[in-house]
Amino acid sequence: MTEGAHRATPQPPRRRRDAQRNRDLLLEAAHEVFTEQGLDAPLDVIARRAAIGNATLYRHFPTRAALIDAVFYDTLTHTMTAGEKARTAPDAWTALHTYLETVFTTLSTDRGTNDLMTTRIEGVTSLEAVHTHNHHTMELLLDRGREQGTIRADVTVEDALFALAALGRAVPALTNATTPDAWRRPLALFLDGLRTSPASPPLPATALTAAQLGDVLQELGPHQGRLRVSSERP
């Protein structure tokens, strides 16, 4: 074997290092752009910010869904961790308050996470897990709060999730126009509406079903729910 052949063997590890560097740059740029503009931000903007070609972006992330999954995996995991902590707290009301404050702190600072958490977007694997986890966390806390006499008996988990999604969608506009913690006031009003009170009349109309809630969240999403990220390519 020639000397040149010996020198050629280290090249694959270097290519792997270059590929990892490109991937890291794309993830960093994607997080910045999604945070600023939301999940329907143009993918070529992400590639330009990373100073990497669109073809390279596509090789690493074949669809927008794959990119979103990689960018927000840690954030979604953090939300589920907060939910697990809330589930084990002895006082349901305090746990609910703390959990929602944790969630809304993220919603107010990260437009991309706001899109994810307050809507229904197809094709993002980790998002389905966090929606299911959040639903179960809210259901447990509301049930426990009713048992403890702190949460009104006629509120359903779909009632709560719809109101939270609608409020969450408004948070970026609210904070942009006022102050970063302006969301705390409407969240406090929402929580107050869940409290047991002898003066509260029964809730009117019929509560949403789980399927209806999913349809509503789809409509609340980017492009009125028409962002289907699973099949879109850069």
Write out pLDDT tens, residues 114-159.
Answer: 888 887 777 787 788 888 999 999 999 999 999 999 999 999 999 9
Domains of the chain: 1-62 (1.10.357.10), 72-223 (1.10.357)
pLDDT at 15 (0 to 100) = 54
Write out pLDDT tens, residues 2-22.
Answer: 555 555 555 555 558 888 999
pLDDT at 194 (0 to 100) = 94
pLDDT at 200 (0 to 100) = 80
pLDDT at 118 (0 to 100) = 80
When mean pLDDT is compared across 43-47, 112-116, 214-218, the lowest value belongs to: 214-218
Eight-class DSSP state of 155: -
What rounded mean pLDDT belongs to the chain?
Answer: 85
Give me the DSSP letters along 99-129. Answer: HHHHHHHHHTT-HHHHHHHHS--TT-HHHHH
pLDDT at 226 (0 to 100) = 41
Distance CA 65, CA 54 (A): 16
Specify the 3-state DSSP secondary structure of 210: helix
Give me the DSSP letters along the chain. Answer: --HHHHHHTTHHHHHHHHHHHHHHHHHHHHHHHHHHH-TTS-HHHHHHHHT--HHHHHHH-SSHHHHHHHHHHHHHHHHHHHHHHHHH-S-HHHHHHHHHHHHHHHHTT-HHHHHHHHS--TT-HHHHHHHHHHHHHHHHHHHHHHHHT-B-TT--HHHHHHHHHHHHHHHHHHHHHS-TTTTHHHHHHHHHHHB--TTPPPPPS-PPPHHHHHHHHHHHSHHHHT--TTT---
pLDDT at 222 (0 to 100) = 59
Which range, 111-115, 175-179, 182-186, 216-220, has the best average confidence (pLDDT)?
182-186
Q: By percentage, how much of the chain surpasses pLDDT 90?
A: 48
Q: Is the pLDDT of residue 221 over 80?
A: no
pLDDT at 234 (0 to 100) = 46
pLDDT at 136 (0 to 100) = 96
Write out pLDDT tens, residues 90-108.
Answer: 999 999 999 999 999 988 8
Mean pLDDT of 162-179: 90
pLDDT at 109 (0 to 100) = 85
Distance CA 174, CA 91 (A): 30
